[in-house]
Amino acid sequence: MVWIGVILAGGVGAVLRFLLDGAVARRAGKSFPFGTLAVNISGAALLGFLGALALDRQAALLAGTAFVGSYTTFSTWMLETQRLGEERQLRNAVANVVASIVLGIGAALLGQWIGGLV
- Is 115 among the annotated ligand-binding positions? no
Long-range pairs for 25-30: beta carbons < 8 A, 24 or more residues apart: none
d(CA 65, CA 84): 29
> CB-based burial of residue 4 (10 Å sphere; 0-12 exposed, 13-18 middle, 19+ buried)?
exposed
- Is 69 among the annotated ligand-binding positions? yes
Name residue 63's amino acid. A
Q: Residue positions in the annotated binding site?
A: 69, 72
Q: Which residues are annotated as a binding site for Na(+)?
A: 69, 72
